[in-house]
Amino acid sequence: MAEAIQEIIVATKNAGKVAEFKMALSGLPYRVLALADLGCFPEAPEEGQTFAENACFKAKFYAKLTGKLCLADDSGLEVDYLNGAPGVYSARYAGEHATDADNNQKLLEQLAEAVPEQRAGRFRCVLVLADSEKIWCTADGTVEGVVLSEARGNNGFGYDPLLFIPERGRSLAELSAAEKNEISHRGRAIRELVKQLAVLEK
* Mean per-residue pLDDT over the chain, rounded: 91
> Strands 163-165 and 120-130: what pairing?
unpaired
Among residues 73, 74, 100, 102, the one annotated as catalytic is 74
To the nearest whole percent, how much of the chain has pLDDT over 70?
Answer: 97
* Residues 108-137, mean pLDDT to the nearest whole number: 95
100 is catalytic: no
pLDDT-derived band of residue 1, with 50, 70 and 90 as boundaries? very low
pLDDT tens across 54-107, in order? Answer: 999 999 999 999 999 999 999 999 999 999 999 999 999 999 899 999 999 999
More confident residue, 116 or 111: 111
Q: Is the pLDDT of residue 202 over 70?
A: no
* Residues 119-140, mean pLDDT to the nearest whole number: 95
Question: Whole-prediction pTM value?
Answer: 0.88
The architecture in CATH of the region 7-201 reads Alpha-Beta Complex (3.90)
Each domain of the chain, given as residue ranges in start order, spans: 7-201
pLDDT tens across 77-92, in order? Answer: 999 999 999 999 999 9
